[in-house]
């Protein structure tokens, strides 16, 4: 999830970069009108293209990392390795469930807890 957050922050940086690079392609008049420059700088066009591609990769990587994190979470929850796991039943009931026996039964022990 940290990688997804980093991708989103990078996406914000890309948007700011694109806006600043776009200013290099237009002229602004004193009355607030804008018009395109006749001679476009090729370096600015290349930089805009690279920034746009970076933005696309940031969106794709954030989406993929969220999917991977959710799959990893589901896989860890389904394994439940160890001698027991905790199952919450209701608001105040916590049940410790021991490992399942070969015949499919499981040993449960109730533990009462209150939250602060």
* pLDDT single digits (tens) 42-54: 999 999 999 999 9
H-helix or E-strand containing 58? Answer: helix 42-79
Distance from C-alpha of 66 to C-alpha of 77, rounded to nearest angstrom: 17
Q: Which two three-digit tokens encode residue 97?
A: 């469930």
How far is residue 102 CA from its own chain's centroid?
A: 40
User: Looking at the DSSP assignment, which residues form a beta bridge with residue 112?
Assistant: 93
**Tens-digit pLDDT profile for residues 58-105:** 999 888 888 988 888 887 776 655 565 666 666 666 666 666 655 656
Q: Spell out the residues 6+ positions from residue 48 whose beta carbon is closer than 8 angstroms to its own.
A: 18, 21, 22, 25
Q: Give pTM, 2 decimals.
A: 0.58
pLDDT reported for residue 116: 45
């Amino acid at each position: 999830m940290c990688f997804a957050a980093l991708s989103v922050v990078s996406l914000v940086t890309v948007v700011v970069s694109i806006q600043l690079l776009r200013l290099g392609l237009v002229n602004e008049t004193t009355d607030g009108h804008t018009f395109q420059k006749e001679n476009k700088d090729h370096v600015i066009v290349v930089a805009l293209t690279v920034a746009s591609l970076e933005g696309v990769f940031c969106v794709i990587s954030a989406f993929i990392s969220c999917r991977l994190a959710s799959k990893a979470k589901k896989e860890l929850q389904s394994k439940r390795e160890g001698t027991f796991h905790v199952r919450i039943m209701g608001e105040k009931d916590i049940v410790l469930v021991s490992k399942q026996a070969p015949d499919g039964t499981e040993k449960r022990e109730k533990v009462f807890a209150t939250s602060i």
